[in-house]
Amino acid sequence: MTTTVAQHTPAPSTDIASTAIDSTDTDSTDADSTNADSSDTQSSDTASTPAAKTVPERQNLLGMSREQMEAFFLSIGEKKFRAAQLMKWIHQEGSDDFAAMTNLSKPLREKLARVAEIRGPGVVYEGTSSDGTRKWVLEVEDGSYVETVLIPAENGKRRTLCVSSQVGCSLDCSFCSTGKQGFQRNLTAAEIIGQVWVAQRSVGPRRDTANRPVTNVVMMGMGEPLLNFDNVVPAMKLMLDDNGYGLSKRRVTLSTSGVVPMIDKLGDEMDVSLAISLHAATDELRNELVPINRKYNIRALLDACHRYLSKCPDNRQITIEYTLIKDVNDQQEHAEQLAALLKELPCKINLIPFNPFPNSGYETPSRNQTMRFQQWLYDLGYTATVRMTRGEDIDAACGQLVGRVKDRTKRSARYIQSVQLDAD
């Protein structure tokens, strides 16, 4: 999937980069610890060597849904209404410090510090493009990197965050940089919502609903979100939750390449906005550009879109993403095929000039050709927006930046240095 950037495409710097755990402090204050006391430890067979202390694992609260947070508080003998208080601190204030949560009692804050933590992704790189686009490369739990991009529009009133759902992607769309990197793993709910958390902390805490640091979220970064359903849905619920980010369902968009059964499943769970990475109006061409089309063809995909819309209680449109590739899908016949294909579907079309990357084998159409394509659609009764490429000077297109830091045989400092040099 794609933003200005392309296709399906991580969070901010400074003080949030890493939350080191001081196991010494934890041990010394943990009245609930399951550890044996020191005399037990010393009487064990291993007394002659430094005993490996068992440090109780603290639960990361960042990705917990409201229900999970309530269950957590009940599990530690606290009232479940604390969940809403804590969620506001985490997601609206961007806090990761229990000691600062002054509407919680001191004993509760101390207890939380012993049994829980708020741990977001680490920031490997943060860059701001000359056009205001901000991009983060984030390090998640296993040392993998993912990307998150914040794209300002409408004089800064609209700030859309493009969020990743997987490390890499298995679907190998032929025009996509992320697809070329292969699939590593699904992100956890904490790693997904952590991207919003880091971006918001970087831009500034939410002070009121009219001035949100992040106004829109598109699940359009690295990965196919519907192939990580069990983590993406809870994360999107946190985006919508009034104690979370409080975004309206129209401002949270999931973009899919067409995992048809999961579109139906999504419609049973929630009614966020849906975008389809279509890119071709015939199966023959789409089989080449978006290989999952061989499994779920265009007809099956459009039928799933109709079923999804029928579950939405309001008038909703599907967003059709169409990456324009020179001499591949940018001719008049393609516009005519696209218009004919979509005539029954309430939709809007986003045209995205292909964002080149090394060895892609594709080229970007000229600006004139892009405008011609838009005009052909207009003449056929469609208003199509052209998404201008943003953040080019910081490799804002999906997967490009991580692609450059992927080679783990080099030290990350060198990657970052090279990226910064390019961004200057």
Q: How far apart are CA 190 and CA 193, in angstroms?
A: 5
Q: Put residue 156 in one of left, alpha, beta given phi > 0 → left and psi -120 to 50 → alpha.
A: left
Q: Does the footprint of ligand SF4 cover residue 172 (CB under 6 A)?
A: yes
Q: Does 169 bind ligand SF4 (CB under 6 A)?
A: yes
- Residue 238 token pair: 């946190």
373 neighbors 335 (Cβ within 8 angstroms): yes
Between the two ends of the chain, the Cα-to-Cα distance in Å is 28
The answer to whether residue 213 forms part of the interface with ligand SF4 (CB under 6 A) is no
User: Which residue's CB is nearer to ligand SF4, number 176 or number 232?
Assistant: 176
* Interaction of residue 122 with ligand SF4, rule CB under 6 A: no
Interface mask toward ligand SF4 for 178-197; x: CB under 6 A: xx------------------
Give 85 or 360: the residue with its C-beta nearer to ligand SF4.
Answer: 360
Least Å distance, CB 127 to ligand SF4, is: 21
The three-state secondary structure class of 124 is strand
Q: How far is the CB of 91 from ligand SF4 (least distance, A)?
A: 26
Cβ atoms 25, 345 nearer than 8 A: no
Region near ligand SF4 per CB under 6 A, out of 46-54, 76-84, 98-106, 218-226 = 218-226
Residue 285 to residue 328: CA distance in whole angstroms: 9
Binding mask 265-284 for ligand SF4 (x = CB under 6 A): ------------x-------
Q: Which of 257, 319, 355, 400 binds ligand SF4 (CB under 6 A)?
A: 257
Using CB under 6 A, which of the segments 176-184, 198-206, 303-311, 408-416 binds ligand SF4? 176-184
For residue 260, the minimal CB distance to ligand SF4 (Å) is: 14
Minimum distance from CB of 63 to ligand SF4 (Å)? 21
Name the one residue in this structure whose structure tokens are 């192939």.
227
Give me the helix-helix angle, 332-341 and 367-379, nearest 10°: 40
Among the listed residues 140, 149, 173, 262, the single contact to ligand SF4 using CB under 6 A: 173
Of residues 221 through 240, those in contact with ligand SF4 by CB under 6 A are 222-224
Helix 229-240 crosses helix 189-203 at what angle (to 10 degrees)?
40
Distance between CA 161 and CA 228 in Å, rounded?
19
Q: Are 203 and 211 in contact (CB under 8 A)?
A: no
Nearer to ligand SF4, 188 or 228 (CB): 228
Which 283-342 residues touch ligand SF4, going by CB under 6 A?
Answer: none
Distant-in-sequence contacts of 106-114, Cβ < 8 A, 24+ apart: 108/78, 108/82, 110/29, 111/32, 111/76, 111/78, 112/86, 113/29, 114/26, 114/29, 114/30, 114/31, 114/32, 114/33, 114/58
Taking alpha carbons only, the member of 276, 221, 277, 216 closest to residue 250 is: 216
389 binds ligand SF4 (CB under 6 A): no
Per CB under 6 A, 258 contacts ligand SF4 = no
Q: Name the one range near ligand SF4 by CB under 6 A: 21-29, 63-71, 148-156, 169-177.
A: 169-177
- From 72-80, 164-172, 235-243, 389-397, span contacting ligand SF4 (CB under 6 A): 164-172
Exactly one of 163, 171, 260, 285 binds ligand SF4 (CB under 6 A); that residue is 171
Nearer to ligand SF4 among residue 150 and residue 289 (C-beta): 289
Question: CA of 320: how far to CAs of 313, 339, 386, in Å?
Answer: 20, 11, 12
Instruction: Please list the active-site residues.
Output: 147, 398
Check residue 165 for interaction with ligand SF4 (CB under 6 A): no
Give the C-alpha separation, 295 to 309, whole Å.
Answer: 22
Number of residues that bind ligand SF4 (CB under 6 A): 15
CA angle in degrees (0–180, nearest 5) for 139-129-272: 65
Q: Which lies closer to ligand SF4 via its Cβ, residue 61 or residue 285?
A: 285
Q: Across 304-370, where does the E strand assignment appear?
A: 318-324, 347-353
Question: Where do contacts with ligand SF4 occur on this chain (CB under 6 A)?
Answer: 1, 7-8, 169, 171-173, 176, 178-179, 222-224, 257, 277
